[in-house]
Amino acid sequence: MIRTALATAAASALVFHLGGCQKGPAQPAADAATAAAPAAASSTLAIPAPLRTTETHASQPSLAKRPEEVLDAFAAAIEARDWHSVRAFWGDKGARSGMDAATFAQAWGRLKSPSVVVGEGQQEGAAGSIYYTAPVVITDGDRTVSGEVILRRVNNVPGATAEQLRWHVDSTTLAP
């Protein structure tokens, strides 16, 4: 009985959440299938129908408490082509990206007019850290880049710094 109540509550919350995200009239099914076809053809990942698309400006990556918020802000920064902010989503204020700011901007700068869709992610814990992995598809004109983004943060342990406690990009298979 408790499981049924929890499942019903979770389903209701999802319906309310997704219903509140709709920005305008729903697109006909034919348009949605046509738009998804190029991404599916060039992707090796099975990406579910988009749960979120971004239409906001990038925000401070360390302020978000939920990994979904971080990925939405990350996607918004990519769409805004704000490479400084995109790099800051990596650990150690971008240093964990493995590139200095100029090299990072050059690599990601190949994206000219990106549109980002973030799929549903999965969260798991391991050895004092929490990981959140989500599929991401970036469409840039005729080009589609797909992969996964893995966010990480340390559990709430005594002595953990603010930098360790924030959700940040741990790794990605995206190759812009």
- Is 90 contained in some domain? yes
Secondary structure class of 146 (helix, strand, coil): strand
- What is the pLDDT, as a whole number, of residue 27? 42
- Is 5 contained in some domain? no
Domain region containing 103: 38-172
Buried b (16+ CB within 10 A) or exposed e, 3-24: eeeeeeeeeeeeeeeeeeeeee
- CA angle, residues 56, 136, 41, in degrees to nearest 5: 120
- What is the pLDDT, as a whole number, of residue 14? 40
Total domain count, the chain: 1
Partners of 129 in beta bridges: 126, 154
- Is 60 contained in some domain? yes
Separation between Cα atoms, residue 93 and residue 45, nearest integer Å: 29
- CA angle, residues 94, 95, 100, in degrees to nearest 5: 95
- Is 12 contained in some domain? no
Give the global pTM. 0.65
- What is the pLDDT, as a whole number, of residue 61? 52
- Domain CATH code at residue 57: 3.10.450
- Is 3 contained in some domain? no
- Is 75 contained in some domain? yes
Enter the tokens of residue 138: 């970036």
- Is 166 contained in some domain? yes
- Is 31 contained in some domain? no
First to last CA, the chain: 48
| Average pLDDT per 10 consecutive residues for the chain, totaling 176 residues | 42 42 41 42 42 42 76 96 96 92 96 97 91 98 96 90 91 93
